[in-house]
Structure 1
Amino acid sequence: MNKFVKTLKNIFSIEELRGRIFYTLCFLAIFRLGSYIVLPGVDPSALTESSGGMLGMLNLFLGGAFTRASIFALGIMPYISASIVIQLLGMAVPYFQRMQKEGESGRKRINQITRVLTIVITLAQGSGYLYSTIPNEAIVINQSLFYPAAMIILTAGTVFCMWLGEKITEKGIGNGISMLIMIGIISSFPTAIIQEFQTQGFSILLVVELVALFFIVMGVVLLNAAVRKVPVQYARQVVGAGGKKRTLATGQRSYIPLKVNAANVMPIIFAQSLMFLPSLIAGVWADESDTARWVMQNFSDYTSFAYNATFATMILLFTYFYTAITINPDQMAEDLKRNNAFVPNVKPGEETSGFISWILDRITLPSAIYLAVVAILPAFASMLGVSSAFSRFYGGTSLIIMVGVILDTLQQIESYLLMQNYDSMMKSGNIKGRQNVATV
């Protein structure tokens, strides 16, 4: 406890870090306030609550703004969709690949294209949201005036959320876009745990649920931070070869950290976005076919065996697919060769690429199984009697996003603390230099 208090004191003793935390809290407060401002011309009492599926997941990410028909009803999700599209184009289209290699100028152009695509996606998603989610009885003004005005407001709200995310990244702490998603998820946690307490009461069952949640979170933290270290040896280099005395700098040993969960949460997002298709397609023939009715019934229930088996299988496939398109062993082997580095006992070039691919194939399988298990844990929790609102925190996309964002934020805070300690040691003169060269 004393160490925790000391760490807090150290955090708030650094002026820059204290200012960044303050800016982050202010920007997050603005985001949460906007999620409660309802679109002009909408009667909040006539709105219906989204129960599950993609709408329920979107509402969870947006902290309830989706079902409240707020000005931030779409939040940052169109920007996320645009970023995923640009990322996939960067892996397949040579034009975007060239921009990625152009350094800062290329990143600026990609960011500009992403912003424009965000507006286009917002207009498409906004029209679908207004016409399919907001009932006519909730609109209290002329509908011919409401829809154009609401489209402009929703688009402006998404652009403002995108600006908030960029400002958090620039002036705050952590990744701004991820912070906005995380705060939307966490905002529903107090309500969910209060509802669970009202349902279960202060009983052994509630204690068991909280203990199980704790160990699940710890497991996700461990697996999310797990890496496979590939050892790398840098070749020795001659320094001062033109003088009378030459020195040979000893080669350094390092490693390539290959994340076990390299795909992160993307396979779950891809699989979740496709899981509504079977019930949607089967609904066309539901009146004519028993099979179609069975598919529609089972794939509309996220606790059914068919739904979870299909969901887990798709996650396994998407994990291998996304890892394959995001990590290029050939490029990694080429970069090592260009920097005079090599993997011990492995020849540079093609053999190094094959060795890295061999490792990736073996660490991707446990990663895929882990993602599949985490994704279906909320269904098991719900079947065991946990309320639907509270069971969402037992796994799935929300838990992985929260753990990832919190870990990244803590790493940034730790880097500030290490820098502060380094500056203190430099001023006190406690650091001694050490040469790592051999005379030849």
Structure 2
Amino acid sequence: MLKTLRNAFKIPDLRRKLLYTFMMLIIIRLGAVIPVPGVDASIISSWFDTQNEMFSLFDAMTGGSFAEMSLFAMGIIPYITASIIMNLLTIAIPKLEQIQKEDEDGRKKIAKYTRYLTIVLAVIQSTATAIGFGRQGLITNYNIWNVLVFILATTAGTALLMWIGERITENGIGNGISLIIFINILSRLPIDLRILFNQITAESRAFVVTALILLICLIIFIAIVTFVVLLQVGERRIPVQYAKRMQGRTPVGGNSTHIPLKVNTAGVIPVIFASSLLQFPAIITQFFTQQEVTGIWGTILNFINYTTWSGAILYAALIIFFAYFYTSITFNPMEVANNMKKNGGFIPGIRPGKPTVEHLTRIVNNIVLVGALGLTLIAIIPIILQGAYGLSLSFLGTSLIIVVGVALETVKQIEAQMLMRHYKGFLKS
């Protein structure tokens, strides 16, 4: 692997892209330690101590910026939310769908709308944070001017992260937005490991018992990483044959290819959707009161809390639902079948038209179920271990899916760059 890296740095343009990406990631980590003026970060830190693993995931995706209330406290989450909303709107609104299909100009318009929506969401999120936590002492001098400073600073931080992500995608290696989340989660890994180590060694146990627990945790970590890698790279390849036809005097077609359908088609989106939906009532409640909620609303909050059995079952059901939902809006079997038919393609043994649509739908449904169950297992394991043994394993769930997925995609891009220059890639060395 070191030889491959050395070969990569021998290529001038690839070396320039790698260094550009690396410098941008350094800027991101520097911005994560710049505090917002007039903020008492201890308020957020003490609040996080009383929350569960999902809030730790949110802090991890901001690289600890939210807990420290730094310039990048809102993180890149508003941009991700805006992108998801725009994807849904392009399906619901025919005008936006038409714009998206206008090649490069259409994509630029959708990207522009996404940026505007990102700023709006960042303002809403920062305003809710300033007002909700400002009354509890987050802002030292709680008045309208200091609230505006907080909103402007954190919104500007999100805008800067969005700009950096787009620049990495354009001039660097990999997807910029994904790499921002990747580096933020990795920056929290040493802290999470230290917390886990302190939890294990806090109780007075024999050295052999402590060592055995650490070994078991290491084995679990390696097993989950292996499972996540298999889940991310697994795919079902549907063979497609194109009939040979004549264009003028030139024969075209006649070749064979395949449609690659990933096992985990929806990625980490179902987990984020499910957790956000379950945590939204609790977050809203936290903004209005810090006391323990009782009565019917307290019963509802306890029921949907996924650290309980009822909440965990609901959490798993939502992950499976959103896996099917997101896959249905990103992969349209009817559109794929029509495109194949227009280009003279067909699946061997399946007639074009409706039978092809039914065949693709059946395969997609089976694959999505496997991927959704795998995502559910990965998301539930840290919750079970935390509830049974009180161990903080936040880095094993959703964070690990994101890190592994981004790492694999980035490596594939580097491989593609090197393959064009006849070098072996990371996965082949």
TM-score, length-normalised on structure 1?
0.87
Between 1:72-81 and 1:46-55, the stretch displaced more is 46-55
Matches within 5 A, 1:80-91: 80-91=80-91
In 2, the alpha carbon distance for the partners of 1:189 and 1:5 equals 23
Q: Partner residue of 1:14?
A: 11
CA separation of 1:135 and 1:70: change in aligned 2, threshold 3 A: farther
CA contact (8 A) 1:35 1:70 kept: yes
In 2, the alpha carbon distance for the partners of 1:216 and 1:380 equals 14
Q: Deviations over 1:375-425 (max 9, x none)?
A: 11110221343632xx11222x212111111011000010111011089xx
Q: Partner residue of 1:264?
A: 267
Between 1:115-124 and 1:142-151, the stretch displaced more is 142-151
Match of 1:214 among 211, 222, 232: 222
Gaps of 5+ in 1: 242-246, 424-440
In 2, the alpha carbon distance for the partners of 1:13 and 1:107 equals 34
User: Which amino acid in 2 is paired with 1:304?
Assistant: T
Between 1:378-387 and 1:23-32, the stretch displaced more is 378-387
Matches within 5 A, 1:288-367: 288-289=295-296, 293-300=298-305, 302-367=306-371
Deviation at 1:250, TM superposition (A): 7.0
SS in 2 for 1:187: helix
Deviation at 1:237, TM superposition (A): 2.8
SS in 2 for 1:19: helix
CA separation of 1:23 and 1:134: change in aligned 2, threshold 3 A: farther
CA separation of 1:297 and 1:348: change in aligned 2, threshold 3 A: closer
User: Which amino acid in 2 is paired with 1:172?
Assistant: G
Deviation at 1:141, TM superposition (A): 3.8
Q: Deviations over 1:144-183 (max 9, x none)?
A: 3201121111111111110010111111111000111111
Deviation at 1:55, TM superposition (A): 3.7
In 2, the alpha carbon distance for the partners of 1:28 and 1:271 equals 29
Between 1:412-421 and 1:202-211, the stretch displaced more is 202-211
SS in 1 for 2:137: helix
In 1, the alpha carbon distance for the partners of 2:21 and 2:77 equals 20
In 1, the alpha carbon distance for the partners of 2:211 and 2:120 equals 51
CA contact (8 A) 2:192 2:395 kept: no
CA contact (8 A) 2:192 2:394 kept: no
SS in 2 for 1:256: strand
1:236 aligns with 2:237: no
Between 1:98-107 and 1:372-381, the stretch displaced more is 372-381
1:78 aligns with 2:78: yes
User: Which amino acid in 1 is paired with 2:14?
Assistant: L
In 1, the alpha carbon distance for the partners of 2:28 and 2:423 equals 36
CA contact (8 A) 1:47 1:135 kept: no
CA contact (8 A) 1:53 1:276 kept: no
Match of 2:38 among 32, 36, 41: 41
Match of 1:204 among 204, 209, 212: 212
Gaps of 5+ in 2: 202-209, 425-429
SS in 1 for 2:239: strand
Between 1:28-37 and 1:8-17, the stretch displaced more is 8-17
In 1, the alpha carbon distance for the partners of 2:258 and 2:280 equals 43
Q: Partner residue of 2:24?
A: 27
Q: Partner residue of 1:432?
A: none
In 2, the alpha carbon distance for the partners of 1:186 and 1:55 equals 17
Q: Partner residue of 1:426?
A: none
1:409 aligns with 2:417: no
In 2, the alpha carbon distance for the partners of 1:401 and 1:262 equals 14
1:227 aligns with 2:228: no
User: Which amino acid in 2 is paired with 1:364?
Assistant: V
Q: Deviations over 1:222-250 (max 9, x none)?
A: 11111111111111134773xxxxx7567
Deviation at 1:203, TM superposition (A): 0.8
Sequence identity, in percent? 39
Deviation at 1:287, TM superposition (A): 4.1
CA separation of 1:122 and 1:138: change in aligned 2, threshold 3 A: closer
Matches within 5 A, 1:158-197: 158-197=158-197
1:111 aligns with 2:119: no
CA separation of 1:223 and 1:44: change in aligned 2, threshold 3 A: closer
CA contact (8 A) 2:302 2:308 kept: no
SS in 2 for 1:232: strand
Q: Partner residue of 1:435?
A: none
CA contact (8 A) 1:278 1:299 kept: no
SS in 1 for 2:240: strand
Matches within 5 A, 1:106-145: 106-134=106-134, 136-141=136-141, 143-145=143-145
